Amino acid sequence: MADRVVLAYSGGLDTSVAISWIGKETGKEVVAVAIDLGQGGEDMEVVRQRALDCGAVESVVVDAKDEFADEYCLPTVQANALYMDRYPLVSAISRPLIVKHIVKAAREYGGTIVSHGCTGKGNDQVRFEVGFGALAPDLQVIAPVRDYAWTREKAIAFASEHNLPINVTKKSPFSIDQNVWGRAVETGFLEDLWNAPTKDVYDYTEDPTLNWQAPDELIVSFEAGRPVAIDGKPVSVLEAIQELNKRAGAQGVGRLDMVEDRLVGIKSREIYEAPGAIALITAHQELEHVTLERELGRYKRRVEERWSELVYDGLWFSPLKYALDAFIQNTQERVTGDIRMAMHGGHITVNGRRSPESLYDFNLATYDEGDSFDQSNAKGFVQIHGLSSKVAAKRDLGL
């Protein structure tokens, strides 16, 4: 059983071909490990059997949906993580979880080598291999698609030549990665930046320009930064994401069309659908505006940007990421309350906020009778606050 190759198996063309290729080129047995992250669209038992039919000696499917939601999606919500202020890290947060289970399988099934199906142009090769290095530096890595310059045409030809049970043709236009947190689509005609996405690009969301439904208003409740109820009904984190995927997706919320800066130094056009992710992050951000002290909130927004960059760049298991995790977790102690928001036509409008931990003081904020703010203090404050700028202006103007 020793010296096996443990492959991160998606069930798609490249990793299916990799099973047969690795066996023929290296003479080693391949264990295929597929991770169920709530991607939907295909029976995971079919995926498991496909790996065996392609030559794997063992094929394992790990149900990690709740683990993904609790340990990867939830920290992303609490960090309000949006790479380049837009992308909620749909693929990036799934890779460290996959790495964790591939390493676990390598120990269990006698693997000394791990493998993935990533190309040399993308971010995922980094996320996988840096993750392997952090969790199991003793394991070797094989990356056949990257290291042997596979093209889609070569992979299809190999599958045909060796009678591999893969239903794919040269006409398939897109590369798709999806899980419960969202869906990422690239390649094909989308590589021309002037081409608009066609309706077949999307699956998780309805077209917001053709949405004749009434607005959907709902209340998301949080306790210590964790979503715990929707419209008063208790939910797990996974259930919150699934419910908001359905309701926000029906309103066309969460569509992104962006040119993103990849870690390898190239720009890439990406289409994302993340209705539940965008809805949860929007609600969480708004509750933090109510419950976080001003300077803490300002600093956390700087931390959020760096956290997003680290995760995007494949450094989930890095010392800095761990340190920022501790800071973010500390900020969540009082992020408790309810956010009411209306979703319609691809947009979210927050229209209600309440929290037992609110820092909003009505008597300080009101301009009506009952105002407790002592305005006589403001004149001196303004003068002192602007003093350094005033002194510099006098110098610069020669006064």
Do 66 and 103 fall into the same domain? yes
- Is residue 268 a known part of a binding site? no
Domain CATH for 33: 3.40.50.620
Per residue in 112-138, pLDDT (tens digit) is 999 999 888 889 999 999 999 999 999
**If we measure between CA atoms, which residue out of 241, 259, 256, 175 comes closest to residue 208?**
256
Domain membership of residue 209 (yes or no) is yes
Q: Which two tokens stand for residue 58?
A: 């063992």
Domain membership of residue 268 (yes or no) is yes
239-243, 307-311, 367-371: lowest mean pLDDT where? 367-371
Domain membership of residue 69 (yes or no) is yes
Do 254 and 202 fall into the same domain? yes
Distance CA 197, CA 205 (A): 13
Per residue in 313-333, pLDDT (tens digit) is 999 999 999 999 999 999 999
Q: Is the pLDDT of residue 168 over 60?
A: no
Do 292 and 181 fall into the same domain? yes
Query: How would DSSP label each residue in 106-164?
Result: HHHHTEEEEE----SSSSHHHHHHHHHHHH-TTSEEE-HHHHTT--HHHHHHHHHHTT-
- Is residue 9 a known part of a binding site? yes
Domain membership of residue 323 (yes or no) is yes
212: CB partners within 8 A, 6+ apart: none
Domain membership of residue 369 (yes or no) is no
Query: How would DSSP label each residue in 280-346?
Result: HHHHHHHHHHHHS-HHHHHHHHHHHHHHHHHHHTT-TTSHHHHHHHHHHHHHTTT--EEEEEEEETT
Do 216 and 329 fall into the same domain? yes
Q: What per-residue confidence (pLDDT) applies to 2?
A: 58
Asked if 7 and 59 touch (Cβ cutoff 8 Å), the reply is: no
18-22, 225-229, 386-390: lowest mean pLDDT where? 18-22
Indicate which residues carry an active-site annotation. 14, 95, 124, 175
Distance CA 45, CA 207 (A): 32
Among all chains, which residue has been given the structure tokens 């049970």? 165
Do 133 and 255 fall into the same domain? no
Do 349 and 231 fall into the same domain? yes
Global pTM exceeds 0.85: yes
Domain membership of residue 114 (yes or no) is yes
- Is residue 127 a known part of a binding site? yes
Q: Is the pLDDT of residue 170 over 60?
A: no
- Is residue 273 a known part of a binding site? no
Do 166 and 212 fall into the same domain? no
Domain around 64: 4-173
Domain membership of residue 340 (yes or no) is yes
Out of 146, 173, 200, pick the residue that ends a domain. Answer: 173
What Cα–Cα distance (Å) separates residue 173 from each residue in 11, 39, 185, 186, 361?
A: 17, 19, 10, 9, 55
Do 68 and 105 fall into the same domain? yes
Do 86 and 185 fall into the same domain? no
Out of 331, 354, 377, pick the residue that ends a domain. Answer: 354
Q: Which two tokens stand for residue 52?
A: 């065996």
Q: What per-residue confidence (pLDDT) applies to 24?
A: 84
Q: Is the pLDDT of residue 167 over 80?
A: no
- Is residue 16 a known part of a binding site? yes
Number of structural domains found in the chain: 2
Domain CATH for 210: 3.90.1260.10
134: CB partners within 8 A, 6+ apart: 317, 318
**If we measure between CA atoms, which residue out of 46, 61, 75 comes closest to residue 324?**
75
Asked if 65 and 245 touch (Cβ cutoff 8 Å), the reply is: no
Domain membership of residue 399 (yes or no) is no
Query: How would DSSP label each residue in 84-108?
Result: TTTB--TTTTHHHHHHHHHHHHHHH
Do 327 and 299 fall into the same domain? yes
**DSSP β-ladder status, 111-115 and 58-63:** unpaired
**If we measure between CA atoms, which residue out of 44, 335, 14 comes closest to residue 156?**
14
Do 163 and 187 fall into the same domain? no
Do 158 and 194 fall into the same domain? no
Please state the rounded mean pLDDT for residues 185-213: 89
Give the long-range contacts of residues 44-48, CB within 8 A, separation 24 or more.
46/11, 47/9, 47/11
Q: Is the pLDDT of residue 177 over 70?
A: yes
Per residue in 52-96, pLDDT (tens digit) is 998 999 999 999 999 999 999 999 999 999 999 999 999 999 999
